[in-house]
Amino acid sequence: MSLTLSLVIHNHQPVGNFDFVFAHATERAYDPLLAALERHPAVRLSLHYTGPLYDWLIAHRPDHIERLRALVARGQVELLTGAYYEPILVSIPDADKIGQIRKMTRFLRETFGYEATGMWLAERVWEPHLPKPIAEAGVRYTLLDDTPFKMAGLTDDHLFGPYVTEEQGYTLTVFGNVMYLRYAIPWHPLEEVMDWLQAQAQAHSGGVAVMGDDGEKFGLWPGTWDLCWGEEAWMERFFAALEAESGWLRTRPLGEVAAEMPPLGRVYLPCASYEEMMDWTLPPHDFAAMRRVRRELRDAGRADILHFVRGGLWRAFTARYDEVNQMHKKMLWVSRKVQRMPEGEEKARAQDHLWAAQCNCGYWHGLFGGIYLFHIRAANYANLIAAETIADKTFRGQETWAQPERGDLDADGHEEIILNTDRQILTFKPSYGGALVEWDWRPGKYNLLNTMTRRREGYHAELLTAAEEGRLVLPGQPDRPDGIRVKEPDIHTRLFHDWYRRVALLDHFLHPDTTLDAFYRCQYGEQGDFVNQPYQPEIKKDPAGITLVLTRDGTVWVGDRPVPVEVEKRVTVVPGGDLVTVLYRLSHRSDTLAVVRFGVEFNWGIVGGGGERAYLRVMQGRQRTPRHPSALGEVREVTVFTIGPLLPEPVGEATLTLSRPGTLWHFPLEAISNSEAGYERVYQGTCTLLWWDVVLEPGKSWEVTLQTSLVELSL
């Protein structure tokens, strides 16, 4: 009777995460694990660190790198390669897949003298085409969750050895990551885990059991410090038990097993990830239904059916969230530009920014925040803008320039128009209200429209039910078996859901009874058909700059009377400038007077917009009215407002000047997100609506000019 246990621990912090998070994770999870391995030299395993974490450790905790190097040198730890910046491999071009893996492999060789031949697959997101680029990058084996194996018809008893899969003849060895071990370590009683391993040794003598999971669960996740390293010392007792039972239970790095154990067979695995990820991709109603179905089948002991039940495809995140899709397709757009660059130092620099922008955490949403983490989105955009700026300078050459670009950037079947200058990149969707959906400021490497639309999430139903039944648990209160943790008592009353995408230059015709509170809740009357409807574009270019003219002939209901109204917005940018000028012209062909309430909406992405450093300065003539981006408010007779900061460092701000005074409504966009610590409000941006009561006379037009200037500020 014998069994090999291959433990694979994956340590990750994303590009753009805060220094204190890196430090806390190192002190609570990464350092203690190395210390335990140093105390238990007979416990051998595989470790994977992502590139952003390696970069931080080298700069801030070189002692951790030295300790890791010693463990590798004595053969106790195997290092796994992977795509350096931890992208979801299926989401990036093959050239970037191969390039990122080779970058990590080269780093491990140069830093640790270790030649890695196995890899960690980010979020274990698998699609059948992956063996080819992975093998081309020099990787021989990887591990996946047991989910795709079971979807392919295998059972738990079939997972005690490797399989081989292939694409176009390129082979890859794959191991199944056992769900029981992933859930049991470190939460189940140690005796139960050891009994399970002994039972498998009897049933599958000579086989291997694989457990691969996040290193953060060993000390960083809520409650795990005391469990793993504190009074319960679960991991210390576990390592001691593994050494004590070495007569029948061997711990070995996965690479040794891959080199010595022949494949059990050939397998072709469907698109999959871990079970939770596939559920998170589902629409809200289906998410709740899937959780209910899984629970009912487990309670009924129907494992024979359960392994055929699957959630959604990871790629569905780009369909569910316009913001994910925008950033993802921008990444592909920039990747194509970088690939066209001539080989050399500049291309390598652009490529590294591009790869950093592919870090996966901003491209999906689950229990851990994902796309709702503002600073992670900001970091991805900063790297995308840096990469595109390097590529554009390579192709443009001259110091100042302005050039329009056209194409279906977001892959929705409709053309986008990009006003591209040496200072700014403005992306418009004529098919969607003629809206400005991305506004990149090159000097600050910042997307001013980095916001999130307020959406219904599958877990919101759980929050509402718990609130109705009085099961909310506040910070400091004791846990209860049926309780739902929340960070504030009335958080369920802040669930608002938008029916349109929160971007900029959105054109509204509001019912005259619309209030600020109703607009904030997105429960108001829209009397026109302009917000998300198509506009006709025309580009005009001359040496002075580029003007995009967007026009829509639509309808506004005035009382019970439909009035044909034309909205024209002319957006102008100039070479070398940080100004954007928008001229609005409203006219109608009716032979009677029409009074309408017209508004223009901007949604601003403000880093730290919910904190003390953020500001909203409003001018009423010569009088300054201080406000805050996270406040709900109304200011009349506004002529100028300034919002910032756009960047943590250096600080920048945006100032919008009106040619005629208008009323300003402003409020925060806040997502109600769930995490390990409970439900919380998370600031996602600030909405500003400028509106006017407009009298449209037959044969005449009404105009207003909005000019935005972007300014860098010294600290």
Active-site positions? 123, 214
**Single-letter code of the amino acid located at 548:** L
289 within 8 A of 158, measured Cβ to Cβ? no
How many CB atoms are located within 10 Å of the residue 441 CB?
21
CA 568 to CA 434: how far, in whole Å? 10
Question: Closest by alpha carbon to 126, among 89, 97, 100, 92?
Answer: 89
Q: Residue written as tokens 């960083």?
A: 220
CA 465 to CA 44: how far, in whole Å? 46
Q: Which residues contact 515 (CB under 8 A, 6 or more apart)?
A: 524
Q: Is 93 exposed, middle or buried (0-12, 13-18, 19+ CB in 10 A)?
A: middle
Question: Closest by alpha carbon to 439, among 454, 422, 420?
Answer: 420
Q: Is 167 exposed, middle or buried (0-12, 13-18, 19+ CB in 10 A)?
A: middle
CA 106 to CA 22: how far, in whole Å? 23
Q: Are strands 249-251 and 402-407 parallel, antiparallel or unpaired?
A: unpaired
Question: Closest by alpha carbon to 116, among 106, 129, 131, 127?
Answer: 106
CA 54 to CA 153: how far, in whole Å? 38
How many CB atoms are located within 10 Å of the residue 652 CB?
20
Alpha helices in 204-244 (DSSP H): 224-228, 234-244
**Single-letter code of the amino acid located at 344:** G
Tokens linked to 505: 């230059």
CA 605 to CA 623: how far, in whole Å? 26
Q: Which residues contact 486 (CB under 8 A, 6 or more apart)?
A: 463, 472, 473, 474, 492, 678, 679, 680
48 within 8 A of 9, measured Cβ to Cβ? yes
Q: Distances in Å between the alpha carbon of 406 and those of 354, 410, 416, 429, 430?
A: 21, 11, 6, 11, 11
**Maximum Cα interatomic distance, the chain, rounded to a whole number of Å:** 95
Q: Which long-range contacts (CB under 8 A, 24 or more apart) does 612-619 make?
A: 613/645, 614/644, 614/645, 615/642, 615/643, 615/644, 615/645, 616/641, 616/642, 616/643, 616/666, 616/686, 617/641, 617/642, 617/643, 618/664
Q: Distances in Å between the alpha carbon of 313 and those of 44, 145, 224, 270, 290?
A: 35, 15, 30, 10, 14
Q: Would you put residue 120 in left (φ > 0), alpha (ψ -120 to 50) or beta? A: beta
